[in-house]
Amino acid sequence: MSATKPWARLLEQLVAERGAALFGYAYVLTGDKARAEDLVQDALVRTFRRGRADQGLDAAHAYVKRAIATAFVDSGRRLRARPAISDVEAEPVASDHADDVALALSLHASILTLPPRERACVVLRYLEDLSVAAIAAELGLAEGSVKRYLSDGVGRLRAVHGDFGLSATDLLTGGRSTVPVTPKEGRS
Amino acid sequence: MNDTISTSLETVARLGAEAFATTALATDVGPTLRRVSRARVARVAAGAVAAALLVAAVTVGALGFGHRVVTPAGPSATPSPSALGAPVMVVINTGDTGTDIAHTLEDAGVIADADEFIAVAIERDDQTRSIQPGYYELPTGMSAAAAFDALFTVRPTVGSVTIPEGFGEAQIVDRVSQVLDIPAADLEAALADPEAIGLPPEANGNAEGWLGPYTYRFDPDASATEVLAAMVDATVAHLSEAGVPRDQWLRTLTIASLVEREAKLDVDRPKIARVIQNRLDAGMLLELDSTIRYAVGGDDSVFSSADDRQVDSPYNTYLHAGLPPGPIASPGMASIEAAIHPADGTWLYFVTINLVTGETAYATTFPEHQANVEKLRAWILEKQGY
């Protein structure tokens, strides 16, 4: 299918070039491929139906990411029964010799037990390296709420995984102010 | 440093990204484009209606002001029973989620806060699912709960169209064009793209007979392609559900269309299907006037003239053996059922002997048939002037 309208071409380009990144982002939030796909699709529709995205690939990418995050937080409201965080003992996180993927999945599994708002805040803080102010803007929440969600969320993660190198001060003071949309060159 | 959690989340994001290739979205962005397209058209339409109503509201406001100037102010004007504003038209599309509806209502000014509506929609999830698509005229300035209730009390206007059984493609284009206000040229253009309307290869690119004669509901902003695709889809679904093997689709639909145009009463459908089958088996010409009418075009007359029967067309079953190359009309379910399950019988001929009741007589031999034709002549004589 070859689209003729500018917005349609941009949407196709976005899906072709950034679809995997957007899907990965949604997958981190949901931990479920079907829900991640729904989330990305809904976010694309929400973004493009208003002509918000008609300003280039990066702008569109940023808008869709925001739509994914807000739609995820919205969708969380319908999850009545939230999975309770498990009471398992905190495991020490082995550092250098651990199987990175196993660790990542285990940590992700814990993050998936967090309520949606806490989860979104934690993901935006650590995956996106956003500051509290930037997270608040991205999710449409008050900064104070974001601080509380981050503290609560990280507190719950600590209960399961122990201290995995999180600094409490950095948690609330660090981070960048804009949403990254270009492929990361690697982290300092 | 937060390397552990950051690196872990990046790993999960990467694993997720790798799975993207397996999603429907990665394979075909078409459905998403269509959803956006629909929403964009709907927004333009809703915007135009809202703008028109705004102009109306401003005009009324000015008149009201003039009225107040000449009326002495009473000591206690009756307070307005509510703070509701001028009504606006909003469009709810098929597949809209509670969140979509919330944003539509917020954008139109019906409600102030989409989030409040979303909360209600989630709270009353079962009801949310039953909200019907259509145009809703709603007052502005409603509470979220009132707006939610209004979606069940306000009757939406929707595009509903009924295609009668036996309609041909041209009649269907006329009907859809009139009822759904879609330009006939758009429908004809859509018919010229068999793939876009989902016509199966078995149709050989000709939609005649494949547009199911049923009643459909469409979104207010449905396109010509969407409307025709729904009709093709209904026929394909019906053939599949009836257990017709795919290589028999065209044949079944063609016979059913002949039955549809020849039979008046349901009892005759399986019998006429049997006659068609017996004639095909015997290598006889079908000699059905309905196919002449189709080849010649024009009115719905029951009979064909000697001239008409000479028309040079593959649909002329007086000249060409076997079935016509495709259906001649959209057959209804009863005719399709008759084509699948013809009645038992040895008949090779049939003729309607009472044009009012549609009573039909069947014959196995030509002399028997001629006797039946005489009955028809007698009936016509008796009803001179019919």
In this predicted structure, the answer to whether residue A68 has a pLDDT above a threshold of 60 is yes
Mutation site, A29, A68, A126, interface B, largest B CB count within 10 A: A126
More confident residue, B308 or A29: A29
Domain A1-78 CATH class label: mainly alpha
Percentage of residues in chain B having pLDDT higher than 90: 40
Least confident of A154-158, B333-337, B340-344: A154-158
In chain B, what is the straight-line distance between the N-terminal and C-terminal CA atoms, in Å? 97
Mean per-residue pLDDT, A133-156 = 87
Provide, as residue numbers in chain A, all residues whose Cβ is less than 8 Å from the Cβ of B108: none
pLDDT confidence tier of residue B236, bands split at 50, 70 and 90:
very high
Q: What is the mean pLDDT of residues B114-119?
A: 88
Cα separation, B68 vs B58, in Å, equals 15
Which of A41, A103, A170 minimises the CB distance to B8?
A: A103
B355-361's contacts with Cβ under 8 Å and 24+ in sequence apart are B355/B302, B355/B379, B355/B380, B355/B383, B355/B386, B356/B383, B356/B386, B357/B265, B358/B263, B358/B264, B358/B265, B358/B268, B359/B265, B360/B263, B360/B264, B360/B265, B360/B268, B360/B271, B360/B272
Lowest mean pLDDT among A76-80, A122-126, B68-72, B283-287: B68-72
Whether A98 has its CB under 8 Å from any CB of chain B: the answer is no
Q: Is B94 on the interface with A (CB under 8 A)?
A: no
Asked if A42 contacts B97 with a C-beta cutoff of 8 angstroms, the reply is yes
Question: Tens of pLDDT along A35-63?
Answer: 899 899 989 988 887 766 567 888 889 88
* Per-residue confidence (pLDDT) for residue A185, from 0 to 100: 42
Domain assignments of chain A as residue spans, ordered by start: 1-78, 89-182
A129, B6: Cβ pair inside 8 Å?
yes
Do the Cβ atoms of B177 and B124 come closer than 8 Å? no
Question: Which residues, listed in sequence order, are joined to residue B303 by a DSSP beta bridge?
Answer: none
What's the rounded Cα separation, in Å, for the pair B300 and B15? Answer: 64
Calpha distance B372→B341 (Å, rounded): 25
Confidence grade of residue A27 (pLDDT, cut at 50, 70, 90): very high
To which residue do tokens 């649909």 refer? B315
Question: What are the chain A neighbours of B46 within 8 Å (beta carbons)?
Answer: none
Smallest Cα distance from A134 to chain B, Å: 17
pLDDT 10s digits, A93-102: 434 444 667 7
> Measured between alpha carbons, how far is B101 from B104 in angstroms, rounded to an integer?
5
* Chain A interface, best mutation among B4, B37, B44, by max A CB count within 10 A: B4
Mutation for testing the B interface, residue in A74, A95, A118, A128 having most B CBs under 10 Å: A74
Confidence of residue B325 (pLDDT cuts 50, 70, 90): very high
ipTM for the complex shown: 0.82
pLDDT tens digits for B138-191?
A: 888 889 999 999 888 877 766 678 899 999 999 999 989 887 878 999 999 999
Interface A–B counts its CB contacts (< 8 A) at 153
For the segment B67-89, what is each residue's pLDDT rounded down to a tens digit?
Answer: 222 223 333 333 333 467 777 87
Selected residue of B8, B116, B128, B219 to mutate for chain A interface (largest A Cβ count, 10 A): B8
A24–B15: do the CB atoms touch at under 8 Å?
yes
Residue A5 has pLDDT above 80, yes or no: no
Find, in chain A, the residue whose alpha carbon is nearest to that of B41. A49
Residues 127-166 of A with CB under 8 A from B: 127, 129, 157, 164-166
Contact B23 A15 (CB under 8 A): no
Q: What is the DSSP-derived secondary structure letter of residue B203?
A: G
Q: How far apart are CA B270 and CA B249, in angstroms?
A: 18
User: In the structure, what pLDDT confidence band is assigned to residue A19 with cuts at 50, 70 and 90?
Assistant: very high
Which of A40, A127, A171 has the CB atom closest to B13's CB atom? A127
- Chain B, 40 to 69: residues with Cβ < 8 Å from chain A are 40, 43
Are B23 and A20 within 8 A, CB to CB?
A: no
Contact A100 B119 (CB under 8 A): no
Among A50, A165, A174, beta carbon nearest to B3: A165
Least confident piece of the model among A69-83, B145-159, B201-215, B316-330: A69-83
- Check: CB of residue B260 under 8 Å from CB of residue B242: no
Q: B49-74 as b/e, with b when 16 or more CB fall inside 10 Å?
A: bbeebeeeeeeeeeeeeeeeeeeeee
Q: Please give, rounded to a whole number of angstroms, the shortest distance from the CA of B26 to a CA of chain A.
A: 7
Inter-chain contact B1–A170, Cβ cutoff 8 Å?
yes
Q: Residue B56: is its pLDDT beyond 60? A: no
Show residues of chain B in contact with A1, CB under 8 Å: 28-30, 33
Residues of B with Cβ-Cβ distance to A44 under 8 angstroms: 32, 36
B379 DSSP 8-state letter: H
CATH 1.10.10.10 fits A89-182, yes or no: yes
Residue-averaged pLDDT of chain B = 81
| pLDDT for position B122 | 84
Picking from A101, A102, A96, A68, the residue whose alpha carbon sits closest to that of residue A165 is A96
Q: Is A46 part of the contact surface with chain B (CB cutoff 8 Å)?
A: yes
pTM of the complete model: 0.46
> For the structural domain made of B30-61+82-153, what CATH number should be given?
3.30.1490.480
Average pLDDT over residues A139-147: 86
Q: Which two tokens stand for residue B5?
A: 């959690």
Q: Rg of chain A over CA atoms, in angstroms?
A: 17
Tell me what pLDDT residue B361 has: 95
Decide if pLDDT at B229 tops 50: yes
**Is residue B93 within 8 Å of B133, Cβ to Cβ?**
yes
Answer whether residue B383 shows pLDDT above 90.
Answer: no
Residues of B within 8 A of A123 (CB-CB) are: 9
Query: A92: distance to nearest CA of chain B, Å?
Result: 13
DSSP state of B361: E
- Residue closest to A62 by CA, chosen among A25, A9, A35: A25
Q: Does B15 touch chain A (CB under 8 A)?
A: yes
Phi, psi at residue A132, to the nearest 5°? -55, -45
If contacts are CB pairs under 8 Å, which of residues 95-154 in chain B contact chain A?
A: 97, 99-100, 103, 118-119, 122, 125
In chain B, ranges of CATH 3.30.1490.480 domains? 30-61+82-153
CA B128 to chain A, closest CA, distance in angstroms equals 12
Question: In angstroms, rounded to a whole number, what is the distance separating the alpha carbons of residues A7 and B272?
Answer: 54
Tell me which chain B residues have a C-beta less than 8 angstroms from the C-beta of A107.
Answer: 4-5, 8-9
Cα gap A20→B14, rounded to integer Å: 9
